[in-house]
Amino acid sequence: MGKKAVLVVLDQYADWEGAYISSMLLNDHVSIKSQVLWASIDLLPKKSMGGLTMIPDITLEQIPEDTDALVLIGGKSYRKSETGNLTACVRKFINSNKVTGFICDATYYAAKEGFLNHVKHTGNSLSEIEQLAGYTNSENYINENAVSDKNIITANGTSPVEFAALVLKALNFLPEKEVDFMADMHLLGYVNALRKHGYIA
């Protein structure tokens, strides 16, 4: 069954962190019903850390009510003040128990805003968030690449594949074994993934 996901980017976003989620959701061999929209605080072009320019599809205010997942892609702007009404938008998704993802410096933002105080989570490092005034949950910080708990998914910035897999699993998008195979193709390489999952000797 198709899903609708909104990926949020700010200026200087990390272009590699959303690619796996969007490409897996939009894979025609998996589903033709899924939709991915890229959102930001406005519709002005956003330049990535790798020099790619994106024009967002929608603003935060235009996010459809039937969106299944909100995913904040990391980058260099979350420690600045130009986040618009992002906090209210994220809080709405979390309060509705919808899948909400934070990767890389978006985990810093989530910790600062108190969004990680009731779940197990990870981030780029505990040391950079444990002194934040809005963060009170260091005992539930898990030193893993990606963590999923209560529909909140977090990951460090070097783990976009593991992050994508946990987002898809939270969406109940595919059987877990299929998601694991898709992830392993990127983590291990196609042939090694075929071997690991028993498709070839």
Q: What is the pLDDT of residue 131?
A: 92
Q: What is the pLDDT of residue 31?
A: 65
Q: What is the pLDDT of residue 32?
A: 66
Q: What is the pLDDT of residue 28?
A: 79
Q: What is the pLDDT of residue 1?
A: 67
The CATH number assigned to the domain with range 4-174 reads: 3.40.50.880
Long-range contacts of the stretch 52-60 (C-beta < 8 A, 24+): 52/15, 54/9, 54/13, 56/9, 58/6, 60/8, 60/84, 60/85, 60/86, 60/89
Structural contact between residues 156 and 126, judged by C-beta atoms closer than 8 angstroms: no
pLDDT, tens digit only, all 201 positions of the chain? 689 999 999 999 999 999 999 998 998 777 668 999 999 999 999 999 999 999 999 999 999 999 999 999 999 999 886 777 999 999 999 999 999 999 999 999 999 999 999 999 999 999 999 999 999 999 999 999 999 999 999 999 999 999 999 999 999 988 999 999 999 999 999 999 999 999 999
Q: What is the pLDDT of residue 174?
A: 86
Q: Round to whole Å and give the CA distance between 57 and 38.
A: 5
Beta carbons within 10 angstroms of residue 188's beta carbon: 14
The residue extents of the domains of the chain are 4-174
Q: Round to whole Å and give the CA distance between 169 and 121.
A: 16
Q: What is the pLDDT of residue 2?
A: 85
pTM here is 0.96
